């Protein structure tokens, strides 16, 4: 496996379910990200982990809970979601250096539908 892998690719869940999205990066990067992508809207940054510590949480509802057990794995735990949470959830990784600007490598995303 190379790059950034996300599972599952598609997920349908009810509002009372609990599910998790998984992301794995094989690039040796030191930062991982969760983004939400909705149709015709800009990418929304949800969470950032740098060196396995969460550094940003852009006021995301608590029904989304991230977990980063090591530098290669990232999870997004989902609990009592709303229909408006239906979207494509993208995971990305990057190598953050002192200069700040860095290229993100994305996974193909998990398409979530909340019924």
Partner 1 sequence: GQNIDQPTEMTATEGAIVQINCTYQTSGFNGLFWYQQHAGEAPTFLSYNVLDGLEEKGRFSSFLSRSKGYSYLLLKELQMKDSASYLCAVFDSNYQLIWGAGTKLIIKP
Query: Which one of the spans 19-27, 39-47, 65-73, 75-83 is the region binding partner 1 (CB under 8 A)?
Result: 39-47
List the one residue from 106, 110, 112, 114 that touches partner 1 (CB under 8 A): 106
Helices (H) and strands (E) in the chain, counts: 0, 11
Contact 13, 114 (CB under 8 A): yes
Tell me whether residue 4 or residue 21 sits nearer to partner 1 (CB atom): 4
Question: Does residue 89 belong to the site contacting partner 1 (CB under 8 A)?
Answer: no
Question: Does residue 60 belong to the site contacting partner 1 (CB under 8 A)?
Answer: no
Neighbours of 9 (CB within 10 A): 10
C-alpha 73, offset from chain centre: 10
Question: Does residue 66 belong to the site contacting partner 1 (CB under 8 A)?
Answer: no
Please report how many Cα atoms fall inside a 13 Å half-sphere around the Cα of residue 54, on the Cβ side: 15
Report residue 83: phi and psi, to 5°: -55, -30
State the minimum distance, in angstroms, from the CB of residue 70 to partner 1.
Answer: 22
State the minimum distance, in angstroms, from the CB of residue 8 to partner 1.
Answer: 14
Contacting residues toward partner 1, per CB under 8 A: 3-4, 40-43, 45, 90, 100-101, 103-109
């Amino acid at each position: 496996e190379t790059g950034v892998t996300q599972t599952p690719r598609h997920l349908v869940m009810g509002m009372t379910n609990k599910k998790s999205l998984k992301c794995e990066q094989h690039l040796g990067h030191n930062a991982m990200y969760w983004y939400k992508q909705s149709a015709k809207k800009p990418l929304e940054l949800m969470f950032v982990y740098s060196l396995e510590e969460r550094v940003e949480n852009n006021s995301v509802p608590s029904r989304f809970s991230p977990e980063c057990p090591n530098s290669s794995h990232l999870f997004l735990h989902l609990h009592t979601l709303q229909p408006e949470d239906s979207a494509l959830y993208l995971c990305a990784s990057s190598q953050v250096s002192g200069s700040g600007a860095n290229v993100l490598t994305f996974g193909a995303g998990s398409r979530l539908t909340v019924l």
